[in-house]
Structure 1
Amino acid sequence: MRSAFRSFGGCVLGAMLGVLGGCSDHSAPSLDVVVIGAPTAAFEDGVRLPPAAQLVRGATAEGLVALDAQGRVIPALADRWIVTDDGLSYIFRLRDGLWRDGGAITGDSARAALRQSLAALQGTALAQEFAAIDEVRAMAGRVVEIRLIRPAPDLLQLLAQPELGLLRGREGAGPMALSREGNIALLSPIAPERLGLPQPQDWAAGVRRIRLFSLPGADAVRRYAEGGTDLVLGGRFETFALAQSVASLSRRDLRLDPVQGLFGLVAVSANGPLGEAAVREALAMTVDRDALASEIGVGGWAATTRIVATGAPGDLGTIGERWTDLALDRRRTEAAARIKRWEAGHQKFPKLRLVLPEGPGGDVLFARLAADFAAIGVPLERAAAGSAGDLQLLDIVARYAHPEWYLAQLSCAARRGICSAAADARLGEALAETAVDKRAALLAEAEAELTSANVFIPLGEPVRWTLVRGTIPGFASNSAGFHPLPPLAERGE
Structure 2
Amino acid sequence: MRKRKSLLTLLTMLLVVGTVLAGCGSKSDGGNGSKQNTAAAKDQVLHINLSAEPPTFDPALAQDSQAHTVLNMMYEGLVRLDENSQPVPGVAEKWDISSDGLKYVFHLRKDAKWSNGDPVTAKDFVFAWQRVLDPNTVPAPPYAYQLYYIKGAEDYNTKKTTDFSQVGVKATDDYTLEVTLNNPTPYFLGLTSFYTFYPVHQSVKDNPKWAADPKTMITNGPFTMTTWTTGQKIEVDKNPNYWDNKDIKLNKISMSLSNSGATELSSYRSGQLDYAGMPNGEIPTDQIPAIKKEMPDELTMNPVGSIYYYQFNTTAKPFDNAKIRKAFAMSINRQEIVDKVTQGGERPAFGMVPPGIAGAKDEFRTEHKDDYFQENVDEAKKLLQEGMKEEGYTTLPPVKLIYNSSEKHKKIALAVADMWKKNLGVDVQTENQEWGVFLKNRKSLNYQIARAGWNPDYNDPMTFFDLWTSKSGNNDVGFKNKEYDALVNDAFTSADNNKRMDDFAKAETLLVKDQQVLMPIYYYTSVSLQKPNLKGVVKDYAGGVDFTRAYFE
TM-score interval, smaller chain: 0.7 to 0.9
Would the alpha carbon gap of residues 464 and 311 (structure 1) be closer, same or farther in structure 2, given more than 3 Å must change?
Answer: closer
Whether the 8 Å CA contact 1:281–1:454 is kept in 2: the answer is yes
Is 1:111 the counterpart of 2:106? The answer is: no
Match in the other structure for 2:194: 161
User: Aligned to 1:419, which of 445, 455, 479?
Assistant: 479
CA deviations over 1:397-429 (Å, ceiling 9, x no partner): 112232221112333333211424121121112
Q: Using the alignment, how far apart are the partners of 1:406 and 1:334 within structure 2?
A: 28
Question: What is the CA-CA distance between 1:487 and the residue it aligns to?
Answer: 0.5
- The runs of 5 or more residues in structure 2 that have no matched partner are 1-26, 152-167, 205-217
Match in the other structure for 1:455: 517
Whether the 8 Å CA contact 1:15–1:227 is kept in 2: the answer is no
Whether the 8 Å CA contact 2:311–2:517 is kept in 1: the answer is yes
Match in the other structure for 2:412: 365
Provide TM-score, normalisation by structure 1: 0.84
> Aligned ranges for residues 295-374 of structure 1 at < 5 Å?
295-309=340-354, 312-314=357-359, 315=364, 317-318=367-368, 320-323=370-373, 331-344=376-389, 345-374=392-421
> Aligned ranges for residues 84-163 of structure 1 at < 5 Å?
84-97=98-111, 98-117=113-132, 119=134, 123=140, 126-134=143-151, 135-163=168-196
Q: Using the alignment, how far apart are the partners of 2:30 and 2:55 within structure 1?
A: 28
CA deviations over 1:323-365 (Å, ceiling 9, x no partner): 56xxx5xx21121122223334322122321112333322332
Question: What is the CA-CA distance between 1:77 and the residue it aligns to?
Answer: 0.9
Whether the 8 Å CA contact 2:265–2:284 is kept in 1: the answer is no
User: Aligned to 2:267, which of 223, 229, 247?
Assistant: 223
- The runs of 5 or more residues in structure 1 that have no matched partner are 1-12
Match in the other structure for 2:255: 212
- Pairwise CA RMSD: 3.2
Identity within the alignment, %: 18
Question: What is the CA-CA distance between 1:381 and the residue it aligns to?
Answer: 1.4
Q: Which has the higher contact order (CA 8 A, sep 6+)?
A: 1
Question: What is the CA-CA distance between 1:391 and the residue it aligns to?
Answer: 0.5
Match in the other structure for 2:163: none
Q: Using the alignment, how far apart are the partners of 2:492 and 2:138 within structure 1?
A: 20
Would the alpha carbon gap of residues 210 and 361 (structure 1) be closer, same or farther in structure 2, given more than 3 Å must change?
Answer: closer
Question: What is the CA-CA distance between 1:278 and the residue it aligns to?
Answer: 1.6
Would the alpha carbon gap of residues 225 and 486 (structure 1) be closer, same or farther in structure 2, given more than 3 Å must change?
Answer: same
Match in the other structure for 1:469: 531
Is 1:37 the counterpart of 2:54? The answer is: no
Q: Which amino acid aligns with 1:62?
A: E
Q: Using the alignment, how far apart are the partners of 1:233 and 1:138 within structure 2?
A: 41
Q: Using the alignment, how far apart are the partners of 1:318 and 1:480 within structure 2?
A: 19
Whether the 8 Å CA contact 1:69–1:476 is kept in 2: the answer is yes
Whether the 8 Å CA contact 1:61–1:165 is kept in 2: the answer is yes
Would the alpha carbon gap of residues 239 and 143 (structure 1) be closer, same or farther in structure 2, given more than 3 Å must change?
Answer: same
Whether the 8 Å CA contact 2:128–2:197 is kept in 1: the answer is no
Would the alpha carbon gap of residues 223 and 26 (structure 1) be closer, same or farther in structure 2, given more than 3 Å must change?
Answer: closer
CA deviations over 1:253-308 (Å, ceiling 9, x no partner): 22235321332111124232311112211212112112112123434311021122
Question: What is the CA-CA distance between 1:232 and the residue it aligns to?
Answer: 2.4
Q: Which amino acid aligns with 1:106?
A: T
Whether the 8 Å CA contact 2:301–2:345 is kept in 1: the answer is no
> Aligned ranges for residues 439-450 of structure 1 at < 5 Å?
439-450=500-511
Whether the 8 Å CA contact 1:32–1:230 is kept in 2: the answer is yes
Question: What is the CA-CA distance between 1:20 and the residue it aligns to?
Answer: 5.2
User: Aligned to 2:324, which of 272, 279, 284?
Assistant: 279
Would the alpha carbon gap of residues 270 and 306 (structure 1) be closer, same or farther in structure 2, given more than 3 Å must change?
Answer: same
Q: Using the alignment, how far apart are the partners of 1:15 and 1:156 within structure 2?
A: 46
Match in the other structure for 1:376: 424
> Aligned ranges for residues 389-408 of structure 1 at < 5 Å?
389-408=447-466
Would the alpha carbon gap of residues 232 and 479 (structure 1) be closer, same or farther in structure 2, given more than 3 Å must change?
Answer: same
Would the alpha carbon gap of residues 235 and 107 (structure 1) be closer, same or farther in structure 2, given more than 3 Å must change?
Answer: closer
Q: Which amino acid aligns with 1:67?
A: L
Match in the other structure for 1:172: 219
Whether the 8 Å CA contact 2:238–2:250 is kept in 1: the answer is yes
Would the alpha carbon gap of residues 319 and 51 (structure 1) be closer, same or farther in structure 2, given more than 3 Å must change?
Answer: closer
CA deviations over 1:25-45 (Å, ceiling 9, x no partner): 66311323222324x549754
SS at 1:111's partner residue? helix
Query: In terms of mean alpha carbon deviation, does 266-275 or 45-54 score higher?
Result: 45-54
Whether the 8 Å CA contact 2:49–2:273 is kept in 1: the answer is no
